[in-house]
Structure 1
Amino acid sequence: MDHDPKLPPYSTGDPTSFAYSTSRERWPIIITQAIDDVYRTVGSLPDNSDEDKQKQAEGKKILGELAKLKYELQHNRALTPLRDDGFDDVKVYNDELARRGNLTWLDGPWLFIECYLFRRMSTYFTTSQHWKTYDVFARQKIKSFRSSRAAVLELAARYRELITQLQQSKTHDAEAERLLFAEMCDVCLWGNASDLSLLLVLTYDTISQIQGSEARRAAEKNILVNDLPQVYEHLKSLKDQKIAERRVDIVLDNAGFELFVDLVLAGYLLASGLATHVVLHPKSIPWFVSDVLSTDFAALLNALASPRAFFETPSDEDQLRGVTPAPLEEDHVAQLDFLFADWSRQHAEGRLVLRPNRAWTGPGSFWRLPAEQPELVEDLKQGVLTIFKGDLNYRKLVGDVAWDPTTPFSEALGPLGPGSGLNILTLRTCKADVVVGLKPGEDEELRKTEGGGGDTGARKWAWNGKWAVVSFSRGT
């Protein structure tokens, strides 16, 4: 708290904030889905042994705790201290809760309360004997990735073609290389399996053609801040200088198709020589429903290793509807095999690394990291670029407070801005109120658009993921 920006935080009690509807509508749904998931798992457990019965009993206890949590939330009860599950961050949460006073669910700082929600849900499992590592959101993540089949197959084909070109040719058109970097980052930014238009120009042969240019303009029209040219020049300059170690870190956001495109970006950075190593930073506990855990990385690679078993096996929903997924074509299997071999090799060689850290699931802003997690910051400074994916990471970077939207991004980073030694890039589609780096008058114009908020006092245009910001800050 002492290191956070000294501006009002967005509050669950403010009717003009997205926090208001999130806390009253979305949070109860999340808890209900968790209850449904645990109920299904408990119902599928055998009861042949004492251990089976103990696991069933623990699962029923967790169901009761989740139901109580939902009741407390919906009736705006006071937040209570977290139960000690043996991890150091429990004290961090409880100390901050004590300092903040008598907080209630529906009238307090959005960022802290939302982080507290998921950390508290985690304790129900980590304090058990048989459910310690259970991911209550795993089913949803797997379902999401399975439903992205068409986009996965399309992007896998483009990726194999691109990587093959990079491996076989030593010279490329400089403008095509710059555009290709922007295209890869755009796909990673949106991470939207339903928009295949973003996947059509990922080759040197098409990137500079008219249709490629048109696709790029369409992809960029809703990016309000776009610092990708500076980022490319930064990485290209280091490559041209033949700097031996050029590590890029990616602080991950969502699992499923978004993790898939994150790995596509990582593989491209390595193959193009814009990075010599990529470090992926997943979460350590089930977090904000869809965030990446280390187990999600393993599950994705397993799906690619056995694509027929994954994509052709009917899901529970398929079985209920009597639907059988279409078989994969041989070309599709070959393309997924290529991805699995490429990413597995990079991982085995230490060029693609996973490095979870509980700092990413702390209760507050990343302004606190230099004071509270100095070892993590020092480690990130060993790299040449840290990419923060997604809306929540952006909120944490800038403190989730009411900045004037024209505030420079580097200023809103506070101690992680210039002078920190960290080169930071955010790839964020806007799904919350806070935004910085806009031109004067731009926020006002966006509020005037359909559904933008008008004169209600709400920045509704920033709630739906239609707009994006790609912001870069040099650490020097």
Structure 2
Amino acid sequence: MPDTAPAPVLRADRPGSFPHGVLAERHPAIIRQVQESIPYDPERRRALDALLANCTEGVVEPLPADAPDLGRWRDWGLADHVGRPWFDLPWLWSESYFYRQLLQATGYFAPGPWQGIDPFRPAKLAELDAPQTDEELAALDALGDRPADERSRALLHGSLWGNRADLSFRLSAEGADTRAAAPGLVADDSETLWSLLPPSVAGGTLCLVADNAGRELVPDLLLIADLLDRGRIARAVLHLKPHPYYVSDATTADVLDALRRLTAAPGTAAAYGRRLWSAMT
């Protein structure tokens, strides 16, 4: 489409806009939530306080010279953005860099006691242990007597609507976890999907790009278990984040937490969990 003009770059410099709200409200709320959920030592707490002040009133600061991903951020324009106010930068870049700096402040990459500790894991585990998760897993029992195609459709739609369980929004948006679901789909391409996944003895490989952990990841795993059971796929490959990002982005550890949650649940949920456990081994 050579005649199509490029979309304008989104920035967060307009009060009242969604990007501005993310930087001015959501990011500070996330820092405070991290501080409250993990007993970080004084050094880490000071670093988080400094990040809170910096991301709302300061300018972008560079990464340490020994940062493991410094070269990657240089490729992404770090030198052009250092020293500039967060709100004046392309919004996608500034939001992504905020989470990188949050991991820096919590000591995730540095040698020491906090290396590799997910600052968002308490929130993720709380979501897995929430009553809503119990209700959603218990609902699987009612599908046991339904025809196989109907069960598959229900699990597909569960995977779709699980996207409304985005933890990063609910950490900063009051009442977001109780809002009613949207009344319907804008488009439904499920029949096309099923045509690409016919039951077969050989089966194929399904590549699933995981988004969020917790109650969003669980229905994705349930769908995979059903596809394996029905022979629509022979194996599934989950694409995950290499480290915690954007509060709820799913990592390998999050998959294991979700799998343990399923296998420990009563009824049908545990059977799905055991199927996935077996597939992973």
Hey, what's the Cα distance between the residues in 1 that align with 2:34 and 2:276? Answer: 32
Task: Give the structure 1 partner of residue 190 of structure 2.
Answer: 228
> Does the CA contact (< 8 Å) of 1:105 and 1:113 recur in 2?
yes
Deviations 1:153-180 (A, max 9, x none): 3244246556xx75xxxxxxxxxx3x65
Task: Give the structure 2 partner of residue 119 of structure 1.
Answer: 100
- 1:335 and 2:268 correspond: yes
Q: For the structure 1 residues 85 and 334, does the alpha-carbon distance in structure 2 shift closer, same or farther, using more than 3 Å as the test?
A: farther
Task: Give the structure 2 partner of residue 94 of structure 1.
Answer: 74
Hey, what's the Cα distance between the residues in 2 that align with 1:180 and 1:128? Answer: 47
Hey, what's the Cα distance between the residues in 1 that align with 2:42 and 2:143? Answer: 45
Task: Give the structure 2 partner of residue 18 of structure 1.
Answer: 18
Structure 1 counterpart SS, 2:55: helix
Identity between Structure 1 and Structure 2 (%): 25
Deviations 1:45-66 (A, max 9, x none): xxxxxxxxxxxxxx32111111
1:238-249 alignment runs, 5 A limit? 239=199, 244=202, 246-249=204-207
> Does the CA contact (< 8 Å) of 1:31 and 1:70 recur in 2?
yes
Task: Give the structure 1 partner of residue 129 of structure 2.
Answer: 146
1:24-173 alignment runs, 5 A limit? 24-38=24-38, 41-42=39-40, 59-75=41-57, 77-84=58-65, 86-87=67-68, 89-95=69-75, 96-100=77-81, 102-123=83-104, 124-147=107-130, 148-158=132-142
Task: Give the structure 2 partner of residue 321 of structure 1.
Answer: none
> Does the CA contact (< 8 Å) of 2:210 and 2:240 recur in 1?
yes
One-letter amino acid of the counterpart of residue 294, structure 1: T
- In the alignment of these two chains, the number of paired residues is 258
One-letter amino acid of the counterpart of residue 194, structure 2: Y
Q: For the structure 1 residues 34 and 225, does the alpha-carbon distance in structure 2 shift closer, same or farther, using more than 3 Å as the test?
A: same
Hey, what's the Cα distance between the residues in 2 that align with 1:183 and 1:304? Answer: 18
Task: Give the structure 2 partner of residue 284 of structure 1.
Answer: 242
1:369-384 alignment runs, 5 A limit? none
Deviations 1:178-213 (A, max 9, x none): x6554322211111799xxxxxxxxxxxxxxxxxxx
> Does the CA contact (< 8 Å) of 1:85 and 1:127 recur in 2?
no
Task: Give the structure 2 partner of residue 293 of structure 1.
Answer: 251
> Does the CA contact (< 8 Å) of 1:145 and 1:257 recur in 2?
yes
**Greater Cα radius of gyration, structure 1 or 2:** 1
Shift of 1:142: 0.9
Unpaired runs of at least 5, structure 2: 166-180
Task: Give the structure 1 partner of residue 171 of structure 2.
Answer: none
Structure 2 counterpart SS, 1:223: coil
Hey, what's the Cα distance between the residues in 1 that align with 2:60 and 2:120? Answer: 23
Instruction: Say what the alpha-carbon RMSD is for the aligned residues.
Output: 2.7
Hey, what's the Cα distance between the residues in 2 that align with 1:27 and 1:220? Answer: 26
Unpaired runs of at least 5, structure 1: 43-58, 167-176, 195-218, 308-332, 349-476
TM-score, normalised to structure 1, is 0.49
Hey, what's the Cα distance between the residues in 2 that align with 1:101 and 1:156? Answer: 50
TM-score, normalised to structure 2, is 0.80
One-letter amino acid of the counterpart of residue 276, structure 1: A
Shift of 1:248: 0.9
1:188-337 alignment runs, 5 A limit? 188-191=159-162, 221-236=183-198, 239=199, 244=202, 246-307=204-265, 333-337=266-270
Hey, what's the Cα distance between the residues in 1 that align with 2:70 and 2:144? Answer: 44
Hey, what's the Cα distance between the residues in 2 that align with 1:260 and 1:94? Answer: 35
Hey, what's the Cα distance between the residues in 1 that align with 2:271 and 2:152? Answer: 21
Structure 2 counterpart SS, 1:250: strand
